[in-house]
Structure 1
Amino acid sequence: MSYTGSCLCGEVSLKLIGEPSRSFVCYCVDCRKGSGHLGQFISQYATDKVAVFDKNGTVAEYVVEQTKSGHPKRKQFCKRCGCTIRTLPMKFNGEVSMVRQSLVDENFAKLAPQLAMFEEEKSRYTEGAKSEYL
């Protein structure tokens, strides 16, 4: 099985080979700020199972130095539309890619999250909110 997808503007596309080692929702501060929402839906792949196609050189990178793990992570994004493509946690020396599953075009339901990370962070922003709006 493989999955294909692209950034918002379509300038960067990707192909994911096989199934992820895990899929999760992350509510950490970085994911919240990076998405402009409560968190991000992420799947973890071995980097050699992720092909990123960037024929016009629009992928840029930002290194997040302050992380909970103490290891920097490289955030790759499309500099045209700003869409995050993947994050490479340096804790794993670039061998692991955290891919934004919302970029996948088809079979999205097969990649449902199996767990939530930093869920206590989510509650800081949803306390007092009516559940019908979450």
Structure 2
Amino acid sequence: MNIHDIVREPDEHVRFAAYLDELRQAGDAGEADPVIRVLGDPDRTMARSAVLRHLDRRAAALLLGSAYEGCARDIAPLLIGHLLLTARLREWSLLRAITLKLAWHPADLLVSSNRLQLKAAESSAEAAEILAEGGRTRRIRNSAKAACLRP
């Protein structure tokens, strides 16, 4: 008996890795089918985690380019019923608006996650000013204040 027989990856770990690979390989036009397939996995937590990681990777890569809007529009209907995934897509879109100086509402930033508030404070002087006063945590407020002091 070898170590590989004793220590095996649980099935969900194997599927998670396979899903990430499949989602990574999916092109823009072919993204819907793998996302639907992954979200149909019986282990809903693992499936959402795989799609969340894919969403973060894609959004970060496309954030400042013109392809972001189409990608977000195409994937949004696939995420209906998955509150965490829908919220994450909304936050990526807010970060895009803040970074590109498009229209956005400070109230949306103030109710967003700690993760987004930290990213926004680094991305925009306007967001940093808002978060220096109203950020969700002391860490966010301090980070935003520090960002306001940078040239």
TM-score range, shorter chain: under 0.3
Q: Choose 1 or 2 for highest CA Rg.
A: 2
State the structure with bigger RCO (CA 8 A, min sep 6), 1 or 2.
1
TM (norm. structure 2) is 0.24
Name the structure where helix makes up a greater proportion of residues. 2
